[in-house]
Amino acid sequence: MLNVTSIPIGELSANCYFVTSQDETAALVVDPGYESERLLKCIEDFGSEKLKYIILTHGHFDHIGYVAVLKEKYPFAKIVIGKDDKEFTENDVLNLSVFFGEPVKHFKPDITVSDHDTLDFGSNKIEIISTPGHTKGGICCRISDSLFTGDTLLKGSMGRTDFPTGDEKEIFSSLRRIVYVNGNLTLYCGHGPATDLDTERKNNIAIRDALNEYIY
């Protein structure tokens, strides 16, 4: 079974996730925005040699701020980010750190991904879904029946679109893509609690607005 550990960190309580594959041969980290002893313990307890990826759903400082440190500690782990957010890793205006007084140690991603790309992850596959709107290169990652949505989809809401490269029409389009994914996936969001796709289809105000925009 896919094992997901949620680790809220930092002043903005951004969710970092430690994920292990169903066959327990591989691990990955999603959105390590701040220093976290709990995250390091998860990695070491599982086996640091099994850490395969550091996946970034988008390039804002509260989701990438600890990446450079992790890469130095675990150089074999590949940093993955959407191709259109690649420049966020070295641009403090785009990653917002200059506005929040949260300096980000710059780094270069190892892998840039696009819509429908897949990555091997033990007995699982990681499917990349391009979801621009919160940032131009935002992605969601599907692994089995789990979807890591970053700040595109939050429980009952969606991410902001008033930061650099954000776009409301694009995030509405991205929400519609998520709505029509088959099945009732478990959603692991960039902030706040996990939820599930059926609940969000019924109750999420942003999804309602996105669907209404499409109709009219």
| pLDDT tens per residue, range 104-137 | 999 999 999 999 999 999 999 999 999 999 999 9
Mean pLDDT value across the chain: 96
Cα dihedral 140, 146, 150, 153 in deg (nearest 10) = 90
Number of domains in the chain: 1
Range of the domain at 80: 3-215
| Residue 205 burial (CB count, 10 A) | 11
| pLDDT tens per residue, range 156-197 | 999 999 999 999 999 999 999 999 999 999 999 999 999 999
Please tell me the pTM assigned to this model: 0.96
The reported pLDDT for the residue numbered 116 is 97
The CATH number covering residue 145 comes to: 3.60.15.10
- State the pLDDT confidence band at 1, using cuts at 50, 70 and 90: confident
| pLDDT tens per residue, range 56-80 | 999 999 999 999 999 999 999 999 9
The reported pLDDT for the residue numbered 11 is 87
Question: What percent of the chain shows pLDDT beyond 90?
Answer: 94
pLDDT at 214 over 80: no
CA 193 to chain centre: 14
The answer to whether 16 and 33 are in contact (CB under 8 A) is yes
Question: What percent of the chain shows pLDDT beyond 70?
Answer: 98
